[in-house]
Structure 1
Amino acid sequence: MKTCLIVDDSKVIRKVARHILETLDFTVAEAVDGRDALMQCRASLPDVILLDWNMPVMSGIEFLRALGTEPMAQRPKVVFCTTENGMAHIRTAIEAGADEYVMKPFDRETLQSKLQIVGVA
């Protein structure tokens, strides 16, 4: 079974994403910010990370850059999931190591499509 770490400071978004991912047969873990996510990744790398941009403590982009410096056998796929839709944000996310980008709000079909694009669904 594939694993996904949902990184979002919104409990509602984490709950919705968890429900969708579990229906797609993922084992799901949650993190409330980038620092929490980085600690979880150091303990056990997921197959894919669903990552919010705007969070307290450590933002999604800060987390992504920090993850890139971590020693790991295989880097997890990263799907940015955010309300930020400007081309500059998308370019910044991709340059920092994101594999895909999905806009909030999202539905099951959209998320499944993005997971298929990155090769984990």
Structure 2
Amino acid sequence: MQRLMIADSSDVVRKVGKRILTELGFVVVEAGTAAEARSRCQSDLPALLIVDASLDGALDLIRGVRSMPNGKGVRIFYCVIEADLKKMMLGKRAGANDFLLKPFDRKILTSVFAGLAVAA
């Protein structure tokens, strides 16, 4: 099973995301802050990482993960509330691979992640 981390300050978003993604076959780890996410990544790097753009230190978290050994192999999804090109470009420059629009639901997470769970 692939390991996936959700870094989001919202307990509800993390809980809902974890429930859906666990059903898809991921081992899901949660982090409520960028510092917590970075610390968890240092001890056990996930295959996939969802980072909320509104999380304090989100861009530094992405850059930090990219600088870790094997950090270039992590697939990072930058989660934005609207298709804000400026914010998306900042995420891309920091090292995000892809984007998720928030709020996400079962349909969105399944369409994006179902194939990634099977690919493991």
For the superposition of Structure 1 and Structure 2, which TM-score range results when normalised by the shorter chain?
0.7 to 0.9
Matches within 5 A, 1:1-121: 1-56=1-56, 59-72=57-70, 75-115=73-113, 120-121=116-117
Quote the offset at 1:73 in angstroms: 6.8
- When residues 40 and 109 of structure 1 are mapped into structure 2, their CA distance, relative to the original with a 3 A threshold, is same
Greater Cα offset, 74-83 or 14-23: 74-83
Q: Is the CA contact 1:64–1:98 (under 8 Å) kept in the aligned structure 2?
A: yes
Give the RMSD, CA atoms, in angstroms: 1.7
Distance 1:97 1:47 in 2: 14
Give the aligned residue type for 2:60: E
TM-score when normalising by structure 1: 0.86
Greater Cα offset, 27-36 or 77-86: 77-86
Q: Is the CA contact 1:47–1:120 (under 8 Å) kept in the aligned structure 2?
A: no
**Per chain length, whose mean CA-contact separation is higher, i.e. which structure has more relative contact order (CA < 8 Å, sep 6+)?**
2
Q: Which has the higher helix share?
A: 2
Quote the offset at 1:74 in angstroms: 5.5
Give the aligned residue type for 1:120: L
Quote the offset at 1:82 in angstroms: 2.6
Q: Which runs of 5 or more structure 2 residues have no equivalent in the other structure?
A: none
Q: Which runs of 5 or more structure 1 residues have no equivalent in the other structure?
A: none
Distance 2:110 2:60 in 1: 25
- When residues 13 and 120 of structure 1 are mapped into structure 2, their CA distance, relative to the original with a 3 A threshold, is same
Work out the percentage of aligned pairs sharing the same amino acid.
31
Quote the offset at 1:112 in angstroms: 2.8
TM-score when normalising by structure 2: 0.87
Q: Is the CA contact 2:80–2:88 (under 8 Å) kept in the aligned structure 1?
A: no
Q: Is the CA contact 1:79–1:114 (under 8 Å) kept in the aligned structure 2?
A: no
Kindly provide the CA deviation profile for residues 28-82 of structure 1, in whole angstroms up to 9, marking residues without a partner as x: 11111111111101100111011111124xx211100122222227621111123
